[in-house]
């Protein structure tokens, strides 16, 4: 019985973590002003630089429409910052940040 409860709790935590990471990101309050959704921006960013998104945010930034999704994408030992214009979907930035400390 205790094992069943532990498994159920573990699955609930994992499920909740996945939902939160898919829905919550820094700058989410700005999303109402974006013409490009976070899902669309993720897809654009990963086409520009394949890997694993380790951080994402929506921020006001000079250049483009003034609203930008910023993604840190890890591939191997390099983290790439990819910026996607939240108004047009244009890639505004695609530059390495340097080696990841491990």
| Mean pLDDT to the nearest integer, 75-95 | 95
Quote the CA–CA distance of 31 and 21 in Å, as a whole number.
16
| Mean pLDDT to the nearest integer, 38-57 | 97
| Mean pLDDT to the nearest integer, 16-21 | 41
pLDDT at 1: 53
| Mean pLDDT to the nearest integer, 72-79 | 94
Considering the segment(s) 27-99 as one domain, its CATH architecture is: Roll (3.10)
Choice among 21-25, 49-53, 84-88 with the minimum mean pLDDT? 21-25
Domain boundaries in the chain? 27-99
Whether the predicted model's global pTM rises above the 0.85 cut: no
- Residue 73's CB is within 10 A of a number of other CB atoms, namely 23
> What tokens appear for 55 in the block?
């951080």
pLDDT at 12: 46
Helix (H, G, I), strand (E, B) or coil at 62: coil
């Amino acid at each position: 019985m205790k094992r069943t409860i532990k498994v159920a709790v573990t699955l609930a935590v994992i499920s909740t973590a996945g939902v939160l990471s898919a829905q919550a990101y820094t700058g989410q309050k700005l999303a109402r002003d974006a013409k490009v959704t976070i899902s669309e921006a993720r897809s654009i960013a990963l086409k520009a630089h394949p890997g694993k998104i380790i951080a994402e945010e929506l921020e006001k930034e000079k250049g483009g429409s003034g609203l930008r999704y910023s993604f840190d994408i890890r591939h191997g030992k390099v983290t790439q910052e990819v910026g996607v214009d939240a108004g047009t979907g244009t890639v505004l930035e695609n530059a390495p940040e340097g080696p990841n400390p491990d």
